[in-house]
Structure 1
Amino acid sequence: MVAIIKTGQSVRRIFQYNENKVALGEALCIGQGNYPADHDQLSNSLKINLLLRQLELNENVKRGSVHISLNFHPSEKDLDHEKLMNIASSYMTGIGFAEQPYLVYQHFDAGHPHIHIVSVKVGPSGKRIDMQNIGRNQSETARVKIEKDFNLIKAQGREKQINFAIQPISASKVGYGKIQSKKAVSQVLDFVLNTYQYKSLPQLNAVLNLYNVAADRGRENSRVFKGGGLVYRILDKDGKTTGVPIKASDFYNRPTLKFLEKKFEENTLKNSRPGLRIKNAIRAVFQSERPSIKELSKALEEQGITMIKRHAQNGSIYGLTYVDHVSKQVCNGSELGKEFSAAAIQQNCRKSESEIIQNIISGKISLPSPLKTLFEIQGILESKNLFTPLLQELIIKLFKREFPGSTLPSDLKRKKKKRRRKGLSNN
């Protein structure tokens, strides 16, 4: 089980989000906690008014809404309403919300079973509930206990499955209408915005792009950019924007530029030693071998770290961004230290065959004209997937040394000059 906790300024907006899902047939309210009646006997106004009245007990709390999602492994099949409510009750008790009013919704809009819990962080006495590090401490303890008590598939040991619990958006499967696009983007934003530790818009986009979503401020002379606006767009398989751009203010949690700037500051302060796991993983790869860039990227991917290359117009790599799906940290190579920058990584990595061929074709490596032509042919064949083992064997034979032994024919040997001894005449 994976638990995600988010707080916000408007409990009404979160409540309406879940009720809209119910109206669309994508969710169902399955229960409540600490309400005077069962959920099926409560009107929408009674549901939200109890939460609002409790928030009014402490007007100093600005971010009083609490929105929790409990996500289960796709193979979990025996999660009926009774079991889900028992899990929700156990979790709320575990994080110190046993006396709080809350509503539980089961959602059907993703590939894995999950529930949403709506509550507030003002207690019955009017005291504010401290949620500092609640995800790392109380929530983690509650999660482990629930997995054991309810015989759930454990989250530990399967980090990569957890982090990619939602699938990247497929532009071909999403209609270009605003409603469909908004629904798809909203799922990605719900997962990414409060999960990963990004510290700038490019770092956020490094994560969002993995799910085929981009946050876009527009061009510098555009009205959106000048007004401090932000839109979210879907990317196609080539990384190009497609479909209808959606204003950040149109989403229920309002992930505007102002909201993101606060997240940038919070995430910067969260960890004084950013990317420690990333640095250790990279060093471990170089200790065992001297990989190519592609091999390094693959080795890191196996450890749950995505290495994103930033390319200049001429195709060269000018920057690297690392996304750690286990620690949830997003770091540029330069902020990790000089040895993890794009320049250092490229220098320490060996060139792959395809890179060598491209360098020869571009003239970075000089060769006699016939050999360069041969490599150009090889590059064209590889780009069109026509480079077969038979052609590879032919090229190897063409480059095979005529005299494989360590000695050369006497005619080709360079004549060794006699060393002239100091103070002696050759006569």
Structure 2
Amino acid sequence: MTKQRLVILGAGESGVGTALLGKKKGYEVFVSDKGKIKEKYKQVLIHNEIEWEDEKHSEEKILNANTVMKSPGIPDKVDLIKQIRTKGIKVVSEIEFASKYTDAIIVGITGSNGKTTTASLTHHIIKQELNVGLGGNIGDSFAKQVLEHDFKNYVLEISSFQLDDIIDFKPHIAVITNITPDHLDRYDYQFENYIASKFRIAINQTKHDYLIYDADDEVITNHLKEYPVQSTLLPFSLKKTIKNGAYLDKEKIIITIDNNQIIMPTTNLALEGKHNIKNAMAASTVAHLLKIRKQTIRESLENFQGVEHRLEQVLKINKVQYINDSKATNVNATYYALESMDTPTVWIVGGTDKGNDYEELFQFVNEKVKAIICLGVDNEKLMNTFGNMVDIIIETQFMSEAVKIAYKIAEAGDNVLLSPACASFDLFENYEDRGRQFKNAVRNL
């Protein structure tokens, strides 16, 4: 019997993890990357005798595949992907491929914002009592973990791009944190397409599975009315009383599942801000479903350290607090950041604009922002949008310069906030690179 041929496009964390799992499961594996493969990944492929190429895609080696696993970064409109689909070759994402080889309980978390914090927080709570891995869009490759650890449970942070390439993937517990316009460049600038993509997380769920979601988010609630899902619904809300799910009553989170109720005080939550109460509700609801003890949930919420590049307090210099929120790659994420500022703020913003509408930020900019530093290749839209709202608006293309300017403008008691509201690819490798450059520049002041 001839071996099934698995071709992997993109040799990053998920690609190389899938290659290792595929080889172990008896596939003939070929890895192809249009860019240069990082040395550490190249060494893994060589060591495991997996055939690879970089800086090109050889069609004759790709179009004879049975299955193609493509990196979530590759859009469907690329010619090669169109050819693959025309030939009827199955295209899957890493989570689709890897989930076939595990019987674990999967918690899948998606949303425009808050998914990394919610996934990290959920994992932090569950790992106190259960055997659990954290993967997907975060940390180690899910496929590699299935191969090496075979955890009994997984918490996966899942992007819409990963959900676009699922067929049978079904998390037992799905979470949608919120849905706001993002990545519309990949969805023909149709918000509906992006919403539908997020809801694919529940597409294969049955009534024995659960969907946890923000009931205050009209985009989600309207979509559910129009396109009901099979799953058992467990909403969470800051505004209304919820019979089955979670809600806020004064300063307490109340979670009810099948008449089994737990109550959590929010006064000592490690993470600040309203949006983090929602993240805590989602994570606690998952933990409650998985029968984690109330005491464990409460302690975990109080000692969770947060996520790097997400409202991360870097240093205080001359009574000015420097905050790294480089992970804010869309307007809604920056909305949460500005909302949580309680002193005058010097705001560093900009990057690759994905069709942003900045209007929802106006109230905070008027109220809290004393100066804006635009950090991008093309800052025209930002300059036009905010130019009349603040006394000082400056543009630069260097992080070190942006931080030096902020240092000159900020006075004792102010915040300097990097919260770009844009993707990072114009000047940086990714949002992590942008955040680290910011932290280094602050440390070098």
TM over 0.5: no
**Between structures 1 and 2, the one with greater helix share:** 1
Range class of TM-score, shorter chain: under 0.3
- How high is the TM-score relative to the length of structure 2? 0.27
- How high is the TM-score relative to the length of structure 1? 0.27
Q: Which has the larger radius of gyration?
A: 1
